[in-house]
Amino acid sequence: MNAIILAAGAGRRMAGGGARVNGDASPGEAGFQGASPPGAAGFKEGGGPGAVGIGGPSSAAGWDRPKCLLPCRGGTLLINALGALGGVGVDRVAIVVGFKQEDIRAAVGETPGTTFLENPDYASSNTLHSLYLARERLEGDTFLLNGDVWFDRCVLDRMDSSQVTPSSSAMAVVSRACGAEEVKVITDAANRVTRIGKQLDPVECAGESVGIVRFNVAFARDLIGVLERLDRSPGGRGLYYEAAVNELLSRHVMLPVRIAGHEAIEIDTPEDYARAQALWKADGKE
């Protein structure tokens, strides 16, 4: 299978005080304290779905590297993602890089099956453009991951089950109350995702999409055309990739894979990272 991890830096800004702001952080803005993470190992070999991931930079107070390189259980967020993908048979991963891409390339190294795609406009574009640049890798059954997400490997195991079929795709959703800044989803009576986006009314939403999606062949194929159209449209490069996904939900079945809040955390703020660290410490895997 293929996989694409978007780690260009065209994601959410790391802000202090719990704020989530559109765009990326640059050195000098609020961010994380911490030492540089250890070197990264590769992912397990095998035959499985493709994957795509996206993650912007964190910054300030001791951390000014891409968020996907934040220390995580003896490795990094990125290495956690690569290991989980390998565990479900992914053997081809494309990582979209931009902000301090040399750090990401050095961390991953010459891992068999892994390639890098550059988003040179990461500072002025958003996740839709990064995914557009990776559109040729949306071949067949494909995972899409945000690079700034920590998740337990059981999440991909569930998405690797019968959730994804020739007629359906799947999206990891944390069932919880959401605010204005989360990427929210609405589901219908048939348990299908019908809308996704930050602008949705929190009262109507079933929970938060944490940036882990698995597309079936048909969805991935049609997504390419929508990405090409939106990327060329006025302001299109400033959109989140969910805008493209949202357009296809009326034509394709997208099922929510319900996960608990302790099984996946999108690292948008220092508070998010502290919460993730507390979980790792609680289960003895800090």
Q: What is the pLDDT of residues 49-95, one digit of tens each?
A: 444 444 454 443 356 889 999 998 889 999 999 999 999 999 999 99
Q: What is the pLDDT of residue 169?
A: 95
Residue ranges in the chain modelled with pLDDT below 70:
10-63, 162-164, 284-286
> Among all chains, which residue has been given the structure tokens 């999108």?
266
Model confidence, pTM: 0.84
Paired residues of 71 in beta bridges = 76
- Distance from first CA to last CA of the chain, Å, rounded? 30
Task: Single out the residue of 21, 16, 47, 17 nearest to residue 181, CA to CA.
Answer: 21
